[in-house]
A and B are shown apart, each in its own frame.
Chain A
Amino acid sequence: MFRGFVAVAFGAAVLYGLQRTTPGYGEITSPIPVAGKPGQRVDATAFTIGIAKVHLVRAVTTKNVGRAGTFTTSGVWVLVEGAAEAKSESLTLMSAEWLGPNGIRYALSQRFSTVSGMLPAQRLEPGLPKPVLMAFEIPESQVSGGTLLVARSAWTPLEEQARIEMTGIKPDDIRPAAVLARGQGAVPWILSVE
C-alpha cells in the first residue's frame, strides 16, 4: 500500500518536472544567433552586416526624403548607419529590432518607412555591399546595454539572426536634433546631427 503510494507520487513528480522543463514551440524554433560587435563584419550564412555609426537624437527633420517634417518622439531616436551584403542569393533584411536591457524588443520605426536606404527597402545582392539605415524609437532607459537584432524575417522559424551588442552607447550622447536629407552618391541619405 505504502510502496504503491510512493510510486504514484514519484511518477507525478517526474511528469511534473518533464512538463515544466519541456521547451515551448517558440523556444524550439527561435532564431539562431550570430554574435557580433559594432564596427566589425558580422557574418551569417546568408548575409553580412556591419554597423558603422549610431546617433541618438530627440527629433529628426526630413528634407526631400519621404514625407517632409519634423518627427518627434516621447523617447529617443536611435539612427544606425551601416552596410549589408547578401552572400549567395539576393535578399532583403526585413527585420531589425532593438533589444533593450529589460528584454523588450523595439522594432524598426515605420514612421520613416518611405526614406530611401532604410534596411527593409534595400535589396541586397551577393558581392555588392549596400549602405543601410535603421531608425528605432526607444525609451531613454533602454539606450545603454541594448542589442541590435537583424534577420531576414521576424517570423520564420530557425532563421539566422545577427545579434550585435551595442556597447559604448550612453544617454549622455543624446543630441537635440538631426536632419535626414537625400544623398547624391552611393549613400542615398545624408544624416547631419546638430
Chain B
Amino acid sequence: MSAEQHLTLRRRLLALLIAGVGAAAATAISFAMTVYEAANPKPVPVVAAGQPIDTGRWIITIRDARMGSTPPTGIKPFAPKKLLMVEFDLDNRSASTSNVFLRLFTIDPPVANLSPPTFYLARDKWIAGGLQPGMPERMIASWEWPSAVPQPQQLRLQIASQIYKRRDNLYGAPGWFDRDPVAVVALAVAPEAVATER
C-alpha cells in the first residue's frame, strides 16, 4: 500500500466517523427531547365558558351546564333519570357535513359507568344529525348521570382537537386525525330547577 492510498483510506474513515457521530448525536437529542416532552407535558389552557375554542375541525363555544330530568326533547322519560346537559355552539369548519360529535369533548376526570352522551339540536329540540359546514348551531349534549355517583357542582370538560391530513400515513387518503386536547373548560353545574317544573 502506497502512502497516497493510505491517506485516502484515513480520510474516508474520518468522514465515516464524523457522519456516524453526527447521526448518533441527532438520534440522542431527538430521543431526549421526546422523553423530556412526555415527562413535562405543556399545561392545557383553561378557557372560560362563552369563549370560542378552535379545535381544528370545529369551533366550539361551551355555554352552560345544568342537571335535569327532562331531556331537550321535552318528553319525560318513562323511568326517572338524572341528566347532565351541556349547551354549546358548534361550527363545522371542515369542507363537508359531519356528525362526529362524540369526540368533541370528554368529562375530566372520567366518571365511572358513564355512557356516551346524546347530542340534540336546540333548534329542533330533537336528536342532531350531521352539522352542515359553516352553519353554526346551538347544540345540547346530554349524559345519563349514574345514580351511584353524586351530582356534580363543578364540571371540567376537556376539548379534543383534530387536524386535517391531505395524505394519511397508511393509505395516503385525506382525513381528520385526533390530536392532543386544546383546552379545558371549567364551569358550574346549575342544579335542577324545581320551581319551573310542571
Which residues of B lie under 8 Å from residue A73 when comparing CB positions? 123, 135
Does A139 lie within 8 Å of B135, measured CB to CB? yes
> Is B136 among interface residues, defined by CB-CB distance under 8 A?
yes
Which residues of A lie under 8 Å from residue B126 when comparing CB positions? 67, 111
> Is A25 among interface residues, defined by CB-CB distance under 8 A?
yes
Does B135 lie within 8 Å of A105, measured CB to CB? no
> Is B30 among interface residues, defined by CB-CB distance under 8 A?
no
Does A110 lie within 8 Å of B135, measured CB to CB? no
Does A26 lie within 8 Å of B96, measured CB to CB? no
Partner of B130, one of A25, A67, A107, A138: A107
Q: Considering the complex, which residues of chain A in the window 10-29 have a beta carbon less than 8 Å from any beta carbon of chain B?
A: 24-26, 29
> Is B54 among interface residues, defined by CB-CB distance under 8 A?
no
Q: Considering the complex, which residues of chain A in the window 21-77 have a beta carbon less than 8 Å from any beta carbon of chain B?
A: 24-26, 29, 67, 69, 71-75
* Docked CA distance A104–B144 (Å): 35
> Is B173 among interface residues, defined by CB-CB distance under 8 A?
yes
- Report the minimum CB–CB distance from A161 to chain B (whole Å): 14
* Docked CA distance A109–B137 (Å): 14
A67, A71, A110 interface centre (most CB from chain B within 10 Å): A110
The segment out of B5-13, B16-24, B164-172, B176-184 that lies at the interface is: B164-172
Partner of A106, one of B97, B136, B137, B167: B97
Partner of A103, one of B95, B124, B172: B95
Q: How large is the interface on A (under 10, 10 to 19, 20 to 34, 35 or more residues)?
A: 20 to 34
**B137 nearest CB neighbor, chain A only:** A74
A69, A72, A107 interface centre (most CB from chain B within 10 Å): A107
- Report the minimum CB–CB distance from A150 to chain B (whole Å): 15
Does A24 lie within 8 Å of B173, measured CB to CB? yes
> Is A122 among interface residues, defined by CB-CB distance under 8 A?
no
Does B129 lie within 8 Å of A110, measured CB to CB? yes
Partner of A104, one of B96, B99, B166: B96
Does A104 lie within 8 Å of B123, measured CB to CB? no
* Docked CA distance A113–B97 (Å): 15
Which residues of B lie under 8 Å from residue A106 when comparing CB positions? 96-97, 132-133
Does A113 lie within 8 Å of B173, measured CB to CB? no
> Is A137 among interface residues, defined by CB-CB distance under 8 A?
yes
Return the 3 tightest CB-CB contacts between A and B, nearest first. Answer: A110-B129, A107-B97, A25-B173
Chain B residues proximal to chain A, CB less than 8 Å:
95-97, 99, 121, 123-124, 126, 129-130, 132-137, 166-167, 171-174
7 A–B contact pairs at CB < 8 A? A24-B172, A73-B123, A74-B135, A75-B135, A97-B96, A107-B97, A139-B135
Chain A residues proximal to chain B, CB less than 8 Å:
24-26, 29, 67, 69, 71-75, 97, 103-107, 109-111, 113, 137-139
Q: Add 6 more A-B contacts to A25-B174, A97-B97, A103-B95 (CB < 8 A).
A: A25-B171, A25-B172, A74-B135, A111-B126, A137-B135, A139-B135
